[in-house]
Amino acid sequence: MSGNGNAAPTAQEENSPKMRVIRVGTRKSQLARIQTDSVVATLKALYPGLQFEIILSLLLFSSLKRFTLRLFLAWQIGEKSLFTKELEHALEKNEVDLVVHSLKDLPTVLPPGFTIGAVCKRENPYDAVVFHPKFVGKTLETLPEKSVVGTSSLRRAAQLQRKFPHLEFKSIRGNLNTRLRKLDELQEFSAIILAAAGLQRMGWHNRVGQILHPEECMYAVGQGALGVEVRAKDQDILDLVGVLHDPETLLRCIAERAFLRHLEGGCSVPVAVHTTVKDGQLYLTGGVWSLDGSDSLQETMQTTIQVPAQHEDGPEDNPQLVGITARNIPREAQLAAENLGISLAHLLLNKGAKNILDVARQLNDAH
């Protein structure tokens, strides 16, 4: 924790939210700590008179043994992990004031009483290939026939099977450290696919052998961005974290999350996106795939988001859009981004996306 002792408060401190200890919840994994520490460091710089205490999740892998295999498997493929649920429980019980997540891990509909109070500036959203040491210098295209590539993502596997039919894709589980250890030590995988942002945050830039661009593999909704979850009615904390919103990242992620939500997708079906902002236009490309990548639909739409900044006339009855609260970003721009995602989802559904996703979901559930 940090503080200024008995020093007289500065003007910035006097204008800060209530002077108290802000408790920040996070998981114990190295990546989760790095992500949380980065957000806390930014908040400390903005509010030097406040103290921040990081509280670690107590749910360890060994405690999962108390659960049945069925519950554990449900956790593995469900939209929300047990860690997220535990941290939300701590928020609900007022044991922590905010929680830092990878935005892609948060569902598009949050439980009542919670909201995403900040969407931080996005890191590289693309996927990266890490090769076994004996294949360093290769690309997916130049790997030998029948090489095994590890990924925990149906989205990645579906797209890459279609693009690189000479490769075999196999599930690999665990945090980043565990997956890299499996790659290097087990001789089972020629390469693994990971989010570039996670590798960058861990300082493992030297392990990135190839970046997968959208024409090869579009990314997950919200990938590369951090979301700060808070209690929806805790206005002090909402005001405190709201300054962390990155406008471009926010609008891109609102569009992506609206697309996923109205497709009724999730991590159990292959859905992917790509967004860009250029000259006041937000472009959203979205796609759905069958599990083996043989069937797919993909479209692009755009909308204008150049809206003059203005103050809200008054509080909204429901300020959330796809689980996100951002009062300091023009509402019109947020609604335009949400409508873009909804419109693209409707376009794909009208072209048959529901059938592709239903079949993919049934096949995945059968496993």
Active centre residues (catalytic): 105
What's the rounded Cα separation, in Å, for the pair 51 and 20? 7
β-strands 271-278, 114-119: how paired?
unpaired
What's the rounded Cα separation, in Å, for the pair 218 and 273? 6
- Edge to edge, what strands does the sheet with 281-289 contain? 271-278, 281-289, 296-304
The enclosing H or E element of 145 equals none
Tokens 């649920």 found at: 85
Cα distances (Å, whole numbers) of residue 265 to 283, 324, 337, 349? 20, 18, 18, 12
What's the rounded Cα separation, in Å, for the pair 286 and 292? 18
- DSSP letter at 135? G
What's the rounded Cα separation, in Å, for the pair 275 and 183? 31
